Copies of this chain bind each other. A is one copy, B any other.
């Protein structure tokens, strides 16, 4: 997947599309700032896999990491969701609007 640089929403959607990544977000929501090694203990995958997932989540702004001593603590960054959330709500509203228009049009001009 090659989301163009200006496409933040697409990136977030792609990130959210993976179930492991969603579980990761759940765990972060439940436990706050936590290390990749700890997360690996809760999921049936390697620490490396976790790190990769956290990297894509970080790239789209859904999580952030801060170094504490020699360990890296990852935590949620809820603002990262905002744009996508708004996009999706707008999309739903737009669909409803258009569908209503089309329906009205179809009723008017009975083909």
Contacts and interface: CB of A to CB of B under 8 A. Distances in A.
A41 to B, nearest CB: 20
Nearest to A84: B88
- Copies held by the complex: 2
A76 B96 CA distance: 10
Contact of A82 (B14, B92, B94): B92
B78 A99 contact: yes
Interface residues of A, number: 31
Nearest to A91: B81
Interface of A: 1, 3, 7, 10, 13-14, 16-19, 22, 25, 29-30, 32, 76, 78, 81-82, 84-85, 88-89, 91-92, 94-96, 98-99, 102
